[in-house]
A and B are shown apart, each in its own frame.
Chain A
Amino acid sequence: MPSANTTRSWSCCRDASLRFVKSAVSTRRLTRRFAGRLVVDSLDLEVPSGQIFGFLGPNAAGKTTTIRMLAGILLPSDGEGSVLGFDLYREAESIKRQIGYVAQHFGLYDNLTAAENLEFYSRVYGAADPQKRNSLMDRYGFSSYRDVLAKNLSGGFRQRLSLICALTHAPKLLFLDEPTAGVDPGVRKELWDFFYQLAETGTTLFVTTHYMEEAERCDHLAFIHHGRLIADDTPEGIKKALTGRDVFRIGCRYEPEVVTRARRLEGVEMVNQFGNTLRLVIARKRYDEMALKQALGLGERPEVSIERDQPSLEDVFVTLTSEST
């Protein structure tokens, strides 16, 4: 994997030819309003070619709107941007020819077979080579499913079919909007293996996901919240955002009063209970394990474990979203 370019300097990208080579996506102050409401707010994005770029954010953060603008189907309200060197305003049709787009609910035709769907989409892109289609089907495990109606395919196979439907024209940039939502872990792993293979052939992948372990696998992450970019770095770099804080991992069941106490702790930046784990991000050196346990009212509970932990991506994102709300 190429290493991520963490800087978002614009001075180096002024030269158009350089930008074309270096960045699959490049936006500056990209903005979209719907009925006066800011959905995407002054987004500066730089997606280097050949990377797997993770685009994260809570629901309704503006992810899909951003992707639609980048895919050339929605005009920005303001700002500028280019995709594969094509201008978002003037060259949307050229963008469409060069990119692939797989949404969570890809538009498969239920009453067409797998092979017919693939043929349809490849013809839409003007790629009518049946040999290439066959090899795609074989490579992605469709040899014995090619004549199955799309509506009868399992969720995993639908998602795979969506992927290859978007690949027939060998796009240089692939937008994947929650491509693994609702598929089982096995299929998820398979899909990610495909993504890596694609990235190795030089395809840029622009992926949105809510799964943190998927985010960890990206070369670069951008995190948006309320339409604004609030983090933009490699996964490792993003975790460094919590430098200067302590992360605690407390093994206890959900108890409302514990969570309430945690929220009132001095210097607390994040409280996140998930299942039998409570994670806290607190300003450094405010509490040691014992003092924290006392402060949470768990001092008399020997069965409750408490330990420091490395910051996870989720810690960072939960901290960031609670900060900016």
Chain B
Amino acid sequence: MEPAVNAAPKTRDPSWPARVFGGFVPVFRKEFIEIRRDPRLVVFIVAFPVVLLILFGYALRIQLDNVTMAVFDEDGQLPALLVKDRFHQEGYLIPVEVESLEDIRSWIDQGRARAGLHIPKDFSAKLVENEKPSLTLYIDGSLPTLALAIDNESGTIQQTDFKRTLYFSDPDEDAKEFAEDPFRLEVETLYNPDLIDVWFFLPAIIGLLIMQVGLILTSTAVVREREAGTLEQLIVTPVTRLGFVMGKVIPYALISFVDFNLVVGAGHLVFGVPVAGSDALLLFSALLYIPAIVSLGLLISTFAETQQQAIFLSVFILLPSVLLSGFIFPVEAIPVAIRPLSYLLPLTYFLEIIRGIMIKGIGFAELMIPFSALVVFTAVFTAVCVARFQKKLH
């Protein structure tokens, strides 16, 4: 038993820095001790920015790489081959043969191709006769950055050296400098003909905002209970795990849904972004997207012990979502090594859905894959949550 010591209290008048800044040093030091005692937060603070830096360093090298161009080649002669090859070699567009003009349209609708090329039947014949045949390049305007890049790259087939290749001179005349093009390239932008950026970005911002709200609210709400000690109190009550989780999560899902409607409405009112497709389908897509986000937020809460950790983890998912989901750069333009990460983000699929519905006006059938992806996300996140919650108790 340690005896209690009666020390005489020191009653010296404190100096002015002590009166003003008293306690600063101990508090300052204590704060560092607390941070040190929170090794997870330290990992988040140190390691994650490095990871993100590396990730974005790659992602920001935007190139037209691996963008598919659906080609309907009715001609099939050497000049047509040369055109396709030129697009491929210099324009970085991968030509894929399709059977009809409708095919081009549907490939772009479904996002399987971002561009299309129609080479008419008599292209070679007219070329030989110097009759200036036309080529039509279709560009998916729902992604203006990509569309502009494609438009830019299409210039490659109009460069002098290529024109020379396709110029058939009249053997009876002297070779003249061709003042005119041997063929015409017509560019047709689908969906968003004026390439209005806000049309492109606004649906994506909606997706991102809903993600931010759902993710941070859900993850911190659960962790807050843990921090305040109310979670422990609730464990001794008849409140069940599921009752607790649903009770915590559904309010935020509802808030997210209201938010969704607000931002869609605001986008329409302020920016005039139309909903080309069905309003009901748009609401339906939110009903699939929000559970995926909220269950992801819940998953975060099973990893975070403090609200700080929860927010940090949320941002750690939000930032890559901005850069890798197709929010700014099309997924096709993201280097292959990083691209699998894009497909691990719910936002990637939701952007395809919301741009598809709002800009392209496409329907349920074309969006089956991203819709299914969202359902899979919700199922997987929920399953992992349940497993982790069970582990926590005993």
A→B interface (CB under 8 Å)? 71-75, 93, 96-97, 99, 101, 103, 105-110, 121, 124-126, 253-254, 256, 259, 270-276, 278, 318, 322
Output the least CB separation between B129 and chain A (Å): 82
Partner of A124 from the list B225, B232, B237 (CB cut-off 8 Å) is: B237
Q: Is the CB of A107 within 8 A of B4?
A: no
> In chain B, residues 293-346, which have Cβ atoms closer than 8 Å to a Cβ of chain A?
none
Tell whether, in the assembled complex, residue A106 and residue B233 are in contact, meaning their CB atoms are under 8 Å apart.
yes
Given A73-B235, A259-B3, list of 11 further CB < 8 A pairs? A71-B236, A75-B394, A97-B238, A99-B236, A101-B236, A103-B232, A107-B229, A107-B233, A121-B237, A125-B237, A256-B3
The answer to whether B1 touches A272 (Cβ under 8 A) is yes
The closest CB in chain A to the CB of B230 belongs to A107
**From residue A1, how far is it (CB to closest CB) to chain B in Å?**
27
Residue B175 lies at the interface, judged by CB distance under 8 Å to chain A: no
Chain B nearest Cβ from A11, distance in angstroms? 32
Whether the Cβ atoms of A253 and B6 lie closer than 8 Å is: yes
With beta carbons under 8 angstroms apart, the residue of A101, A105, A273 that contacts B3 is: A273
A74 to B, closest residue via Cβ: B394
Shortest beta-carbon distance, B17 to chain A, in Å?
Answer: 32
State whether the Cβ of B239 lies closer than 8 Å to any Cβ in chain A. yes
Question: Which residues of A sit under 8 angstroms from B235, Cβ to Cβ?
Answer: 73
**Count of A-B residue pairs with CB < 8 Å:** 62
Interface size on B, residues (CB 8 A): 20
Cross-chain contact of B1 among A97, A99, A322 (Cβ < 8 A): A322
Cα distance, A273 to B2, chains bound together (Å): 7
CB of B239 to closest CB in A, whole Å:
5
Cβ–Cβ < 8 Å partners of B229 in chain A: 103, 105-107
CB B246 to nearest CB in A, in angstroms, measures 14
**9 interchain residue pairs of minimum CB distance:** A107-B233, A273-B3, A107-B230, A101-B236, A107-B229, A272-B1, A254-B3, A124-B237, A73-B235
**What is the bound-complex CA distance between A124 and B230, given in angstroms?**
12
Q: When the two chains form their complex, are residues B3 and A274 in contact, meaning their CB atoms are under 8 A apart? A: yes
Alpha-carbon distance between A275 and B238 when the two chains are bound, in angstroms: 46
Q: A103 touching B238 by the CB < 8 A rule?
A: no
Q: Of A96, A273, A274, which contacts B237 at CB under 8 A?
A: A96
Q: Mark B229-266, 1 if CB is under 8 A from A, else 0.
A: 11111111111000000000000000000000000000
Q: Is B5 an interface residue (CB 8 A)?
A: yes
Is the Cβ of B394 less than 8 Å from the Cβ of A254?
Answer: no
Nearest B residue (CB) for A72: B236
**Which chain B residues lie closer than 8 Å to A275 at the CB level?**
4, 6
| 0/1 interface trace, chain B 204-237, chain A, CB 8 Å (1 if under) | 0000000000000000000001001111111111
Task: Please measure, in the bound complex, the distance between the C-alpha atom of A322 and the C-alpha atom of B231, giving whole angstroms.
Answer: 37
Q: Pick from B229, B230, B231, B393 the residue with the most CB of A within 10 Å.
A: B230
Contact call A107/B228, Cβ cutoff below 8 A: yes
Asked if residues B234 and A124 are in contact (CB atoms below 8 Å), the reply is: yes
28 example contacts (A-B, Cβ-Cβ < 8 A) are as follows: A73-B236, A73-B393, A75-B394, A93-B238, A103-B229, A103-B233, A106-B229, A107-B228, A107-B229, A107-B230, A107-B231, A107-B234, A109-B228, A124-B234, A125-B237, A126-B238, A253-B6, A254-B4, A254-B6, A256-B3, A259-B3, A270-B1, A271-B1, A273-B1, A273-B4, A274-B3, A276-B6, A318-B1
State whether A274 touches B230 (Cβ < 8 A). Answer: no
Residues of A within 8 A of B393 (CB): 73
Chain A residues closer than 8 Å to B228, beta-carbon distance:
107, 109-110
Please, which residues of chain B bring their CB within 8 A of the CB of A108?
230
- Contacts of B1-30 to chain A: CB distance below 8 A: 1, 3-6
Q: Which residues of A contact B230 (CB under 8 A)?
A: 107-109
What is the CB-to-nearest-CB distance from A312 to chain B, in angstroms, rounded to a whole number? 14
Name the A residues within 8 Å of B1 (CB-CB): 270-273, 318, 322
Residue of A nearest to B235 (CB): A73
Would A124 and B238 be within 8 Å (CB), given that A108-B230, A109-B228 are in contact? yes
B6 and A101 form a contact (CB under 8 A): no
Residues of A near B231 (CB, < 8 A) are: 107
**A72 and B238 alpha carbons, distance in the complex (Å):** 10
CB-nearest residue of chain B relative to A271? Answer: B1
